[in-house]
Amino acid sequence: MSAQQTQEQGIELWQIRAECRGPQAEVFFPPPHFERKVDRLQRERRAKRICDHCAVKDQCLEYSLSIREPHGIWGGLNENERKSVLELAVLM
Ligand code: SF4
């Protein structure tokens, strides 16, 4: 896919290199039904392990913080962890 094609489709270039593309993407967001805490923690651990090997982890985290993404695992952090990062940034 060319840079022009990705811009036309609203895809950031770094997203093409994301480790979470494909079927494993489902562990990055909560299911549509109730999720027990133990299941959420297990799902998030699986997602974070994928993030640990992702070449675009820094870009992903930066993007999610810039848009205040409220859901899911981005850049190895869940929504509460990203919220803490943003709160710390305000204090600095
Ligand atoms: S850091 Fe994690 S959420 Fe972000 S693109 Fe990579 S695998 Fe996906």
Domain range annotation of the chain: 14-91
pTM of the model: 0.87
Q: What is the pLDDT of residues 30-82, one digit of tens each?
A: 999 999 999 999 999 999 999 999 999 999 999 999 999 999 999 999 999 99
Sequence-distant (6+) residues with CB within 8 A of 69 are 63, 79, 82
Residue 7 to residue 50: CA distance in whole angstroms: 26
Does residue 25's CB lie within 6 angstroms of at least one atom of ligand 1?
Answer: no
Ligand 1 centroid from CA 44, angstroms = 12
Mutate to test the pocket of ligand 1, among 17, 56, 58 (most ligand atoms within 8 A of CB): 56
Q: What is the pLDDT of residues 3-41, one digit of tens each?
A: 555 555 667 889 999 999 998 899 999 999 999 999 999
| Atom in ligand 1 nearest the alpha carbon of residue 18 | 5
Residue 49 to residue 44: CA distance in whole angstroms: 9
Ligand 1 centroid from CA 30, angstroms = 15
